Amino acid sequence: MIEIDGGVTLDNASEIIQAGADVLVAGNTVFSSPDPLATIAALKALP
């Protein structure tokens, strides 16, 4: 599996997945979000 850790955002997550990543670590994107649960849901909904 290919894991990307660092720099993952809602803006680039789809592109990272399309490039072949299997696992995304989006710690700062989630924990700095005003609504972390919504951010996680949005990341999970990406193609």
pTM, entire model: 0.84
CB 8 within 8 A of CB 26: yes
Please state, in angstroms and as integers, the Cα–Cα distance from residue 26 to each residue in 9, 23, following that order: 7, 10
pLDDT at 4: 97
Among all chains, which residue has been given the structure tokens 């919504």? 38
Query: What is the chain's mean pLDDT, rounded?
Result: 96
pLDDT at 47: 82
pLDDT < 70 stretches in the chain: none
pLDDT at 16: 97
